[in-house]
């Protein structure tokens, strides 16, 4: 089985077990103090409602932020593919030798981008980033040589080429946007304490509702896991789709392989 899947499954199970353990600990504490103060049950009920509301608010904002960052990263992929495709077409404005160099450089760049995306689950290496930088230099040099030979194509060619390079920086910046570790820690602590208070209230009432507390624990764990997984959509089960780059790779491969007239 996929190592990433097993890792994510383990994290999900740990979340559920941790929350259920918090309920159990809270239940035993509540059972020990039961009867010492009749007002404790009413107070714990109010605190329980307040903590559930706070947890819901924190989870809602965190999920919305993670979802927004996911959509931003996803939108950048087809936009980058479109930019590369435009630069590839604009190469036709250059004289044939320089046009062929630029098209070949762009096709190789797409191959490298697809390969980097395929290995991102295991972390991007410095060598892969260095390879991308070399591709950028090669593309830019090919474009510069072409426009020196045909200055009238300067704006039409260099603009799209510059856009291709810019999209790499945008994708790197978007990939580095995550929920701060402090926020993730706050979500975990708030979840554990909330489930602990629920268990505490059950202990005070001397009434265990295993089904309901298990459902709440599962829902909170699922919301936490989904938020964290969505926030890091290259190393978890939720993945970004690189189909636009794969389609472009096939298109450029067939174009560059086509014999010239």
Torsion sign over Cα 33, 200, 10, 53: negative
* Rama region for 78: left / alpha / beta (φ>0; ψ in -120 to 50; rest): alpha
Q: Which tens digits make up the pLDDT trace of 124-168?
A: 667 777 888 899 999 999 999 999 988 898 999 999 999 999 998
164 close to 157: Cβ distance less than 8 angstroms:
no
Helices (H) and strands (E) in the chain, counts: 8, 0
User: Quick check: is 42 in a domain?
Assistant: no
User: Quick check: is 43 in a domain?
Assistant: no
| DSSP assignment letter at 259 | P
Instruction: Quote the pTM value.
Output: 0.82
> How many CB atoms neighbour CB 32 within 10 A?
11
> How many CB atoms neighbour CB 85 within 10 A?
19
- Per-residue model confidence (pLDDT) at position 203: 86
User: Coil, strand, or helix at residue 142?
Assistant: helix
Q: How many structural domains are present in the chain?
A: 1
Q: Is 139 exposed, middle or buried (0-12, 13-18, 19+ CB in 10 A)?
A: buried
Q: How far apart are CA 2 and CA 15, in angstroms?
A: 20
User: Quick check: is 95 in a domain?
Assistant: yes
Q: Which of 75, 97, 147, 109 is nearest to 252 (CA)?
A: 109
Rg (CA), the chain: 27
- Per-residue model confidence (pLDDT) at position 149: 86
Residues 45, 51, 57, 61, Cα dihedral to 10°: -160
User: Quick check: is 148 in a domain?
Assistant: yes
Q: Which domain holds residue 93?
A: 3-34+54-257
> How many CB atoms neighbour CB 127 within 10 A?
8
Q: Which of 143, 192, 189 is nearest to 163 (CA)?
A: 143
Query: Which tokens belong to 20?
Result: 């259920």
Q: How far apart are CA 135 and CA 149, in angstroms?
A: 21
Low-confidence ranges of the chain (pLDDT < 70): 1-6, 34-42, 119-125, 234, 254-261
User: Quick check: is 45 in a domain?
Assistant: no
User: Quick check: is 49 in a domain?
Assistant: no
User: Quick check: is 135 in a domain?
Assistant: yes
- Per-residue model confidence (pLDDT) at position 260: 45
> How many CB atoms neighbour CB 70 within 10 A?
18
User: Quick check: is 161 in a domain?
Assistant: yes
């Amino acid at each position: 089985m996929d190592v990433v899947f097993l890792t994510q499954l383990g994290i999900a199970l740990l979340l559920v077990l941790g929350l259920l353990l918090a309920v159990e600990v809270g239940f035993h504490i509540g059972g020990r103090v039961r009867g010492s103060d009749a007002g404790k049950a009413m107070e714990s009920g109010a605190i329980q409602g307040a903590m559930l509301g706070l947890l819901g608010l924190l989870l809602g904002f965190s999920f919305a932020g993670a979802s927004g960052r996911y959509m931003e990263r996803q939108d950048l992929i087809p936009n980058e593919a479109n930019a590369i495709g435009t630069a590839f077409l604009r190469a036709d404005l250059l004289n044939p030798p320089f046009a062929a160099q630029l098209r070949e450089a762009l096709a190789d760049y797409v191959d490298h981008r697809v390969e980097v995306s395929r290995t991102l689950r295991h972390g991007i290496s410095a060598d892969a980033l260095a390879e991308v930088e070399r591709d950028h230099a090669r593309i830019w040099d090919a474009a510069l040589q072409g426009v020196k030979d045909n200055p009238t194509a300067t704006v039409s060619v260099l603009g799209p080429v510059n856009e291709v390079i810019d999209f790499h920086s945008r994708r790197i910046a978007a990939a580095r946007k995550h929920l701060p570790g402090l926020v993730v820690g706050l979500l975990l602590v708030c979840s554990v304490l909330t489930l602990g208070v629920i268990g505490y209230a059950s202990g005070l009432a001397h009434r265990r509702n295993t089904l309901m507390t298990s459902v709440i624990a599962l829902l909170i764990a699922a919301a936490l896991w989904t938020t964290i997984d969505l926030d890091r959509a290259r190393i978890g089960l939720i993945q970004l789709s690189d189909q636009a780059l794969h389609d472009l790779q096939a298109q450029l491969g067939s174009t560059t392989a086509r014999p010239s007239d």
